[in-house]
Structure 1
Amino acid sequence: MSASIQNLASKATGGAVGPTLPVRKLGKNGPTITALGYGTMGLSAFYGAPKPDAERFAVLDKAFDLGELFWDSADMYQDSEDLLGAWFKQNPGKREKIFLATKFANCSDAEGNRWVDSTPEYCRKACEKSLKRLGVESIDLYYAHRLDGKTPVELTVRELKKLKEEGKIKYIGLSECDSDSLRRACKVEHIDAVQIEYSPFSLDIESEQIGLLKTARELGVAIVAYSPIGRGMLGGQIRSPKDFEEGDFRTFAPRFSEENFPKNLELVDRITEIAKKKNCTASQLTLAWLMAQGDDIFPIPGTTNLSRLEENVNSLKVKLSKEEEQEIRKACENAVVSGARYPEAFAASCFASTPPLKERDAVAEGPPFLTSQAQQQSRVLSNSSSSHPSARPRTLPPPGIKQ
């Protein structure tokens, strides 16, 4: 371990004796941060009713104590930013030890309508609101959560660059963009990270057709992998759609349907078999395998369970031989993953493209609303919203939301 990494690890734990986690450089121009992040979405949204604040704070306390200091949020994760802001207020001095990421562009209203807005105007407005909710002076990594398909990506990134120059954000990210949009964005300002779904269930970014992983590596952009454990399914504990509680958005995802669930369990069971031989859990094997795909991969699994949090962190102790890595790769490639990641209504914002800058005047003004089908699904989840006083309307997330 280099001296610089040792210093970072010491800073991460306040210089005290405690666990230090492996670190990686976030893209060619980014900081050195913990290789495994923590996705906070599940603490506040989309997986059933949120737990009481005391239990949620305990999870954040545990993540910090374990040295898992790369935290990921978004303004559309209901009260997630408020929760983190309250935790920072209760723990003065710890904010500077957290590499904090959040996102903008997913919008909703009280009726459950949901749309994407990546215009420069909304970018700035959303950033100001996130800074206030989080109670921070600057956001470490700020993503465009989605691209709206109408705003040229160059305009979005120009505004992000301005926010960076003003000190309101430090690093810039995109999420669920296509290869071309990433390339165009980097011509305006370097993109430090792309957040995308990446797991044994979702290897799309590796394909020649999508080409996102190849482009990111060419440009020196890190890959932040959301849903690295397949929204929990690759952990082996979820065996049926009936295991989801009311209000869990996975009940809308084709991959978790009654028809597709048994088919997808075949890969889960194969990974579990390999994990048993390795004396680790299926979740740990999955995370270790993802991180073995390159030093530019940063999985951000989420959980509300303290033991599961520690289990995930211990994946950093799992070292795979080339033969073991290839065995898992073969299992992934031989598997027939059934069902799309999201309902069809949300597919348009996966690997999203944007119009060329010169054609902007020919594009209709205003962000696109979702189809009536998507709105109906959003309202179903809105009706199952938690009773937490600061929670926003519970709605189905657009494609690409992590954990």
Structure 2
Amino acid sequence: MSTRSLGPTGLDVHPVGLGCMGMSWGYAESQRDDEVSLAVIRQALDAGPVLLDTADAYGDGHNETLVGRALALAGRRHDAVVATKTGIVVDDLATRTLSRDGSPEHIRRSADASLKRLGVDVIDLYYLHRVDPAVPLQESWGALSELVRAGKVRHLGLSEVTREQAAAAHRVHPVAAVQSELSLWTREPLDPGTGISGWCAAHGAAFVPFAPLGRGFLTGRYTRPDDFEAGDFRATNPRFTGAAFTANLRITDAVRKVAARHDATAAQVALAWTLAQGGHVVPVPGTKQPRYLTDNLAAAALRLTAADLSDLDGAPAATGSRY
């Protein structure tokens, strides 16, 4: 199995990780099944070492607990690189009302709580989930670096930051990874002037795309705006509603044409395009279904041609904002 280096951590992981958020909240919550999710995580461990991506905000702790249960039941801690996050607070779980808290006090408390829920002695990769505008980034990052010195965290990452913010943090303590959305319908991180992927490549950090399948849209499984149940994040997301949904089907058409050339799934093509953006890229597509995890992991073996990449790069930009 080929692997990719997770930035300067010395950790090699499967090129495709597993985003665990949807197992707890956000998407099709009526289909949530913890036992199936546990099986999916164990399946990912079979392909290990694999990057498991969670956060304390996902289900207000439920997702970390789920990942911790899977690791304990499988007895496979060595096959997982565990990444979690701090800095977002769930104010109301039912409405998914969130706020930010990047204070050193909150970071220290949430790290201890995450360690307990995950059932691990150390967090492999700990992200600042979002920069708190009320707290200087250097203060938040300084508190995170203290956790490294205390042995509670191995490496630090940032989520959804600018190049300038990444550089400011890097001057305090090395940035091992930056997470942000990247897919065929969210390509801003690749901008040569402002994109964060280029900053990561230049500074030896990993770039970890979340939602590399466009929150499921790029798989081609959804054909109408009303495909989503009430409460699903996508039911009111601008890219999934009304005329925007119809316009964005042009992107899935481009993916489908390339998939037909390779006898591959649309998901595999979308992931292979993401992987082709650089050897420092380790996407974490989310799923809670074993068959989709099998598809996603197999994308690492799909080699797109120059013509394939040109056709995909030529797909139209997405209609509608990300949030």
Match of residue 16, structure 2, among 36, 49, 53: 36
Could you tell me how far 1:209 is from its partner in structure 2?
Answer: 5.4
Q: Secondary structure of 1:237's partner?
A: coil
Q: Distance in 2 between matches of 1:215 and 1:61?
A: 33
In structure 1, the partner of 2:37 is 56
- Which has the higher mean CA deviation after the structures are superposed, 235-244 or 134-143? 235-244
> Which residue is equivalent to 1:205?
189
Query: Are residues 205 and 52 of structure 1, via their aligned partners in 2, closer, same or farther at CA, if it must alter by over 3 Å?
Result: closer
Matched letter for residue 101 of structure 2 = D
Where structure 1 has 5 or more consecutive residues not aligned to the other structure, the ranges are 1-20, 343-403
Aligned partner of residue 171 in structure 1, secondary structure: strand
How many positions carry a matched residue from both structures? 318
Q: Distance in 2 between matches of 1:249 and 1:323?
A: 35
Is the Cα–Cα contact under 8 Å of residues 38 and 68 in structure 1 kept in the other structure? no
Show CA shifts across 1:143-177 (max 9, x none).
Answer: 00101112121111111111011110101000001
Corresponding residue number in structure 2 for 1:217: 201
Residue aligned with 2:282, SS = strand
What is the aligned counterpart of 1:46 among 15, 20, 26? Answer: 26
Deviates most, 207-216 or 32-41 = 207-216
Q: Which residue of 2 aligns with 1:83?
A: 66
Letter of the 1:28 counterpart? P
Alignment gaps of 5+ in structure 2: none
For the 8 Å contact 2:181–2:209, the answer to whether it is kept is: yes
Q: Distance in 2 between matches of 1:91 and 1:217?
A: 34
Q: Name the aligned partner's letter for residue 341 of structure 1.
A: R
The alignment partner of 2:318 has SS state of coil
TM-score by length of 1: 0.76
Counterpart for residue 47 of structure 2: 66
Q: Which amino acid aligns with 2:48?
A: G
Pairing partner for 1:106 from 88, 105, 110: 88
Pairing 1:309–2:289 present: no
Task: Give the aligned residue type for 2:251.
Answer: L
Match of 2:307 in 1: 323
Compared CA separation, residues 64 and 182, structure 1 to 2 (3 A)? same
Please tell me whether residue 127 in structure 1 is matched to residue 124 in structure 2: no
* Change beyond 3 A, Cα 1:260–1:136: same
SS of the equivalent of 1:114 reads: strand
- 2:136 alignment partner, one of 132, 144, 152: 152
* Alignment pair present for 1:141 and 2:125: yes
Structure of higher RCO (CA pairs closer than 8 Å, 6+ residues apart) = 1
Q: For 1:167-215, what per-residue CA distance to the aligned partner results, in whole angstroms no more than 9, with x for missing partners?
A: 1010100000111000000000110000000000000112255332222
Q: CA deviation at 1:30?
A: 4.0
Deviations 1:222-245 (A, max 9, x none): 110000000000001111121112
- 1:158 maps to amino acid: G
Q: Distance in 1 between matches of 2:301 and 2:79?
A: 22
Q: Is 1:26 aligned with 2:9?
A: no
Equivalents in 2 of 1:155, 1:293: separation in Å?
32
Equivalents in 2 of 1:142, 1:41: separation in Å?
16
- Is the CA contact 1:144–1:174 (under 8 Å) kept in the aligned structure 2? yes
CA RMSD between the two structures: 1.5
Q: Distance in 2 between matches of 1:105 and 1:53?
A: 25
| 1:26–1:221 CA contact under 8 A, matched in 2 | yes
Q: How far, CA to CA, are the matches of 1:32 and 1:59 in structure 2?
A: 21
The AA in structure 2 aligned to 1:107 is V
- AA paired with 2:25? A
Q: Distance in 2 between matches of 1:127 and 1:68?
A: 23
What does residue 378 of structure 1 align with? none
The residue type paired with residue 277 of structure 2 is Q
Percent sequence identity over aligned pairs: 34
Matches within 5 A, 1:4-403: 21-49=1-29, 51-67=32-48, 69-78=50-59, 79-92=62-75, 94-110=76-92, 112=95, 113-208=97-192, 210-331=194-315, 335-342=316-323
Q: Is the 8 A contact 2:54 2:84 kept in 1?
A: yes
What CA deviation, in whole Å up to 9, does each residue of 1:26-73 have, x standing for no partner?
A: 123442222110000111111122523222212122222233621000
Give the conservation status (yes or no) of the 8 Å contact 2:23–2:33. no
